[in-house]
Amino acid sequence: MSEGLRERHPGEGPAVWFDSRGLQRGFKEHAGRGIGTYVAALAAELEAQSAKDRVKFLVEGGVELVKPLPEARLVLAPRVFSGPTRFETYLRQHVVLAAWLAIARPAAVHFAAQTDAPAFAPVRTILTVHDVVLHRHGDWYAKSAAPGGASALAELRFRSMRRLERFAIARAERVIVPSRVTADELVATLAVPRARIAVIPEAAGSRFGPTPGATDAAIRARLGLPARYLLHTGGADARKRLPELIAVFDELARDDRELALVLVGPVAASSGWAAVAAAIDRARAHDRIRLAGVLDDHDLPAVYRGARALVLATRHEGFGLPVIEAFACGTPVVATAALAVTEVAGDAALLVPVDEPQALAGALRELLASRSRADELAARGVARAAQFRWSIAAAETLAVYDGVFARSTGAPT
């Protein structure tokens, strides 16, 4: 597929088109991040569990897929994510994509993220809402959501995009969320009726497991990782509180001269990078903070398995996929008790109050000083991760599709 996708006319019939653009290189930077992970895992299971005329995969023509999809199931939309700026591209999805859907007339489209759906799609839509942080805590982002930072124009763009996103959510026939917490927040914040919401948890992929791989040590050596490190995976936007996490690490590093902090993900490309860079510069142990960037799917499990702990200072999550991935790899988790993290982690993580990120230092000291405590948390984590499976998520997603069609025909659900 690296030479582009061949053109295909959209087929007709009762198929749901699952928006798989998150697997295309450069599409909103989804590939290699949480939404890309969601699209890849769910698409694979939807393919396995459904007939080819039941689920199709919507992609943009001429753009490389970072993971293969069955060509017979592809539906090619016109290029939308090609504008000169992110804001212009975002507006194009509300005009160009919506106009194309009006002509193509699929039975329904499942958009894999609330940011990717046209506000006024002329067809039935199912929408996955991963979190509502922009709507509950927009003040964290409004001044840094676009180039220009604190400019009035940047803030206006942010608020306009957020309003369009609300329209898309309000018009969706069903909304899928990954946690009960996000369902509650969706009802409270955007007044989405509870009956339209389906809670379908996410999971760790099959490549995540507690047994060390034969190439684990070689992968960590190639990435230049030290023997003892704490791990953070994800971006650097305001809710992640990476400056606070770096300060916690710096406190621990005073007494542990071998301990390092490894930051995996698009940290330097995130809106909060300036604050993170300043925190690194302030840290006495700045030379032990490693920016690993976005890792290949095959490298990430080895990085989880080599960590002494996954540590999160987050103040809000919609689910907390890194928690489940760490659990699956037998890696202890120390985190702030954001509501969704608490729901997902159960009793398998060491949690501190969400408004006291500095308390992470004490929890990490406890964990690093006690191998038995670390082993206990690792065992609980492996058991907890086993309760979440993508095969279940896909089956429940297909049930949502059935419900949409049943309502449209008047059949009982």
Domain-located, residue 305: yes
Domain count for the chain: 2
- Alpha-carbon distance 54 to 212, whole Å? 38
User: Do 378 and 398 fall into the same domain?
Assistant: no
Q: What is the pLDDT of residue 377?
A: 98
Q: How far apart are CA 255 and CA 367, in angstroms?
A: 15
Which amino acid, residue 235? G
Angle made by CA atoms 144, 337, 371, in degrees to the nearest 5: 120
- Report yes or no on 10 lying in a domain: no
AA letter at 50:
S
Say what the pLDDT of residue 2 is: 35
Range of the domain at 43: 16-203+390-409
Q: Say whether both 126 and 193 belong to one domain.
A: yes
Q: Name the strand (E) or helix (H) holding 327.
A: helix 321-328
Residues 289 and 354 in one domain: yes
Q: Could you tell me if 271 and 362 lie in one domain?
A: yes
Q: Which stretches of the chain score pLDDT less than 70?
A: 1-13, 29-32, 82-87, 138-151, 154, 407-413
Q: Are residues 35 and 181 in the same domain?
A: yes
Q: Do 236 and 347 sit in the same domain of this protein?
A: yes
Are 164 and 255 contained in the same domain?
no
> Is residue 171 in some structural domain?
yes
Residues 226 and 292 in one domain: yes
pTM score:
0.90
Q: Are residues 33 and 121 in the same domain?
A: yes
Distance CA 76, CA 78 (A): 7
- pLDDT tens, position by position, 238-289: 899 999 999 999 999 999 999 999 999 989 888 789 999 999 999 999 999 9
Q: Is residue 166 part of a domain?
A: yes
Is 5 contained in some domain? Answer: no
> Does 405 lie in the same domain as 277?
no
| Domain shared by 192 and 292, yes or no | no
In this predicted model, what pLDDT tens digit does every residue of 294-304 receive, in sequence order? Answer: 898 899 999 99
* Coil/strand/helix, residue 18: strand
Q: In what order do the strands lie in the sheet with 16-19?
A: 74-77, 55-60, 16-19, 108-111, 125-128, 174-177, 197-199
Q: Is residue 93 part of a domain?
A: yes
